[in-house]
Amino acid sequence: MTEGFPADDVLLCVSELCTNALLHGVPPGRGFRLNLRYDGDVLRIEVHDSGPGVPQIVHSPDGEGGRGLLLVAAFADKWGVGERNPGKVVWCEFAVDQKEADETTPPSVTHHAEGWTDLLPPGP
């Protein structure tokens, strides 16, 4: 990760969005897609899944869960949910601090990764 990005915040948001997709957004046997796109000004993180529903921030989480989107909203500059067929895209963005940005970073970079629910142990 280049300077200019809050690397720990980005990592936390990637982890939370992917975990939410695996636990709540991906039907068994299906996958999700992670897109990271940097255009020189903004790092955009997108997690695509095929599950129904629209994730929402839980303002009174209980137990060990329910804080993921609250953390994403607190650390990212923007976040939201878009439609796709089937499912949704949950995204967040980080503006780059140009004063600290590494000048060797290409002006536009896109990375993709995929995860599969087959990797998870069977649920109860």
Q: Are the C-beta atoms of residues 45 and 93 closer than 8 Å to each other? A: yes
- Confidence grade of residue 29 (pLDDT, cut at 50, 70, 90): confident
pLDDT in tens, 49-81: 999 988 888 877 676 777 889 999 999 999 999
Domains of the chain (ranges, CATH numbers)? 7-113 (3.30.565.10)
Cα separations in angstroms, 45 against 16, 33, 100: 11, 11, 20
Distance CA(97)–CA(57), nearest Å, equals 27
Region for residue 116 given its phi and psi (left: phi exceeds 0; alpha: psi -120 to 50; beta: otherwise): beta
User: pTM of the full predicted structure?
Assistant: 0.78
- The string of DSSP codes covering the chain is --TTS-HHHHHHHHHHHHHHIIIII--TT-EEEEEEEE-SSEEEEEEEE---S-----SS--TT-S-HHHHHHHHSSEEEEEE-SSSEEEEEEEE--TTTS-TTS-S-EEEEEEEEGGGSPP--
Residue type, 54: V
Is the per-residue pLDDT at 120 higher than 50?
Answer: no
